[in-house]
Amino acid sequence: MLTFNHFLMAAVLIATAVVHSPVRADTSGLEDMVRNGTVAVSFRYRLEHVDQDGLPESALASTLRSRVSLASAPRAGFAVELELDDVTALGSDRYNSTVNGRGDYPVVADPEGTEVNRAQLDYRRGSLHATAGRQRILHGSQRFVGNVGWRQNEQTYDGLRVQWRGAAATLDASYVNRVQRVFGPDDGAQPADWDGDFTLLRGSWSPHPQHTVAAFAYRLDIDPSRAFGSGLTVANANQTLGLEYNGQWRALTFAASWASQHDIGDNPGNFRAQYHNLEADWALPAVNLRAGYEVLGGDNGVGFRTPLATLHKFQGWADAFLVTPGEGLRDRWLGISGNRGVISWAAVYHDFRSDRRSQRLGRELDLLLGWKVSPRLSLQFKLARFDATDSGYRDTDKAWLIAELRL
């Protein structure tokens, strides 16, 4: 199986061939790529409080993510990008990071550690863009494939990605052999990485500038691990096929999607589940009104799964449903948002029920207030309150204070 080291070695060899003459060593090209490159530094501080029924302690996680991003200037279509992240807990670690062993506290999945977040070789020529190495991959709304940018340790992918963009159509194909998960860089209660064969395909067509149709196919064949049970590894292996539509009529934006999923590889489950989503956004002069109805079906005791998604964006900020119940899940939600100058705000209400039998699982209220202090500094305050109405879930209150500085 190809590994990240193979991809990185290939990237170095290609870059070396580009910037060196076959007759004599010439480092001027490499020097120009470095000299004309860019350096970006950012810091994100987050104070996260979690109060969850059934646990003796409330969590208070004070963490800082420091990031350095290096990008070379292009040469002959090639460019190199390198990004390093460090996550540090400031003060006492009164939270369960999934690595620190603090099981008496609620989970805040921001383990400490330093790692290479991205190390990629890019090639661009006309409508073609190819990327080899460790990279972030985002598809559409990130409902199926994303970078989980909400957590301090970003999810990135080791592999090869090829994108083509035409006047009215796009194609996006990736092969990934390792997923760097948010629980890293070290194993804990969760595996830091998933190894396997991941094929991510997506194509879109825009017959009109305000209407787009997309099709996607995802095959996630996850390798088993001796250190972790199937529930944390191969039970997430699946193949998903789906369609998506996004359109706009004046002030109304509309989205609809459908997908079908079944087990593959070493997944011990035997299921075939469906996914449906409808949502609308109405832009009024002072506010935006949003509404949605999302259904993740269940079959044979297994719920529809999206293990590579940016899950915090969906089904409530309390993250009560990171794994879909075996009976499936229906999420009816309403939202309102707006901004006034540098101040932004939002409120979202969710009603959760099982797909089968329509059993009430809980309801949630999410609130957000943001302040863009300057082009480089932003502040955000968020609240989430999940009230469980089923014994399988716990009442959960979460609050966040976030400051992000980009230099």
The full DSSP string for 302-332 is EE---TTS-GGGSS-TT-TTSS--TT-EEEE
Say which residues have a Cβ less than 8 Å from residue 179's Cβ, sequence separation at least 6: 155, 156, 157, 158, 193, 194, 198, 308
Are 25 and 36 in contact by the 8 Å Cβ rule? The answer is no
Residue 35, pLDDT score? 84
**Rounded-to-integer distance, Cα 237 and Cα 223, Å:** 9
Per-residue pLDDT tens over the stretch 206-243? 999 999 999 999 999 999 999 999 999 999 999 999 99
Q: Please, which residues bridge with residue 102 across strands?
A: none
Q: Which residues of 233-265 are buried (b: 16+ CB within 10 A; e: fewer)?
A: bbbbbbbbebebebebeeeebebebebebbbeb
**Quick one: tokens of 143?**
């409902």
- Predicted local distance difference test score (pLDDT) of residue 23: 38
Whole-number pLDDT of residue 264 = 98
- Tell me what pLDDT residue 13 has: 43
Share of the chain above pLDDT 70, in %: 93
Q: Which two tokens mark 150?
A: 């909400």
Q: Shortest CA distance to 64 belongs to which of 36, 77, 45, 84?
A: 45
Give me the amino acid identity at 159: G
Comparing CA positions, the residue from 250, 301, 243, 312 lying closest to residue 46 is 312
Q: Provide the pLDDT for residue 33.
A: 84
pLDDT per residue of the chain (407 residues) written in tens, 0 to 9: 545 445 444 444 444 444 443 434 455 677 888 888 999 999 999 999 999 999 999 999 999 999 999 999 999 999 999 999 999 999 888 999 999 999 999 999 999 999 999 999 999 999 999 999 999 999 999 999 999 999 999 999 999 999 999 999 999 999 999 999 999 999 999 999 999 999 999 999 999 999 999 999 999 999 999 999 999 999 999 999 999 999 999 999 999 999 999 999 999 999 999 999 999 999 999 999 999 999 999 999 999 999 999 999 999 999 999 999 999 999 999 999 999 999 999 999 999 999 998 999 999 999 999 999 999 999 999 999 999 998 889 999 999 999 999 99
Fold that domain 4-406 belongs to in CATH = Porin (2.40.160)
Q: Does the reported pTM lie above 0.85?
A: yes
Mean pLDDT of the chain: 93
Q: Which helix (H) or strand (E) holds 159?
A: strand 156-165
Tokens standing for residue 134: 């460790």
- Residue 22 is predicted with a pLDDT of 43
Q: List C-alpha distances in Å: 1 to 7, 8, 135, 200, 236.
A: 11, 14, 19, 17, 20
Judge residue 338's burial from the number of C-beta atoms within 10 Å of its C-beta, 0-12 exposed, 13-18 middle, 19 or more buried.
middle
Query: What is the pLDDT at residue 176?
Result: 98
